[in-house]
């Protein structure tokens, strides 16, 4: 029985990030084929509340989606290595952190970047919160490979068209998730 449970967890670990990415790819394929790239589902003031759940899967174009996909998958698997509860917590906290943006930020935003930075925020902090050699190594590896992207959290430094506020809210959601899921041994 224990072996079957581990096998099930492994399949969940592998497939959940692929499922989320598949939703984004399906949305973008439909957008490009049927709507000529004009079917975007961002969050922003005056837009429907349910877009909190569609905005991460909506992208400007395939290059935007590809850039997010190649980072989302490895970061997802690293967070999932800490547990499904941790992964779900990151996704939930990122969505919660987007609520103020939906209500007050004057520019509509969309894309998986908030999730990416949430995963990154979690991974960069969890090693220092848990203080275990494996999680510290994960945090250091993430800092080494993805630390160069942290400049996009700074207003005025991000490239034009890049939502620094979406990135920083996602990073904050990941940080909150890291603190919320940790329980001392």
pLDDT score for 136? 92
Residue 99 scores a pLDDT above 90: yes
pLDDT score for 33? 94
Cα 153 from Cα 120, distance rounded (Å)? 12
**For residues 139 and 123, is the Cβ–Cβ distance under 8 A?**
yes
**For residues 110 and 42, is the Cβ–Cβ distance under 8 A?**
yes
Give the contacts of 96 (CB within 8 A, at least 6 positions apart). 173
Cα 98 from Cα 35, distance rounded (Å)? 26
pLDDT digit string, tens, across residues 19-73: 999 999 999 999 999 998 889 888 889 899 999 999 999 998 999 999 999 999 9
Give the mean model confidence (pLDDT) for residues 88-99. 96
Rg (CA), the chain: 17
pLDDT digit string, tens, across residues 139-183: 999 988 988 888 888 888 877 777 888 899 999 999 999 999 886
Residue 6 scores a pLDDT above 80: no
Name the pLDDT band for 1 (thresholds 50, 70, 90): low
* C-beta neighbour count of 105 within 10 angstroms: 17
- Give all domains of the chain, ordered by start, each with its CATH number: 2-181 (1.20.1540.10)
User: Of 88, 102, 100, 111, nearest to 181 (Cα)?
Assistant: 88
Give the mean model confidence (pLDDT) for residues 69-94. 95
């Amino acid at each position: 029985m224990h072996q079957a449970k581990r096998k099930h967890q492994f399949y969940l670990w592998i497939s959940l990030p692929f499922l989320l990415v598949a939703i984004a790819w399906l949305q973008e394929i439909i957008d490009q084929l049927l709507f000529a790239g004009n079917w975007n589902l961002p969050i922003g003031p005056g837009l429907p509340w349910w877009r909190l759940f569609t905005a991460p899967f909506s992208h400007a174009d395939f290059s935007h989606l590809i850039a997010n996909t190649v980072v989302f998958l490895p970061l997802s698997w690293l967070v999932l290595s800490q547990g499904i509860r941790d992964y779900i917590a990151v996704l939930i906290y990122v969505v919660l952190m987007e609520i103020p943006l939906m209500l007050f930020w004057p520019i509509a935003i969309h894309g998986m970047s908030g999730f990416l930075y949430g995963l990154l925020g979690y991974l960069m902090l969890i090693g220092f919160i848990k203080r275990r050699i494996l999680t510290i190594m994960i945090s250091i590896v993430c800092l080494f490979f993805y630390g160069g992207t942290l400049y996009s959290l700074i207003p005025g430094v991000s490239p034009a068209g890049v939502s620094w506020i979406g990135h920083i809210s996602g990073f904050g959601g990941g940080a909150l998730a890291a603190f919320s899921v940790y329980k001392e041994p």
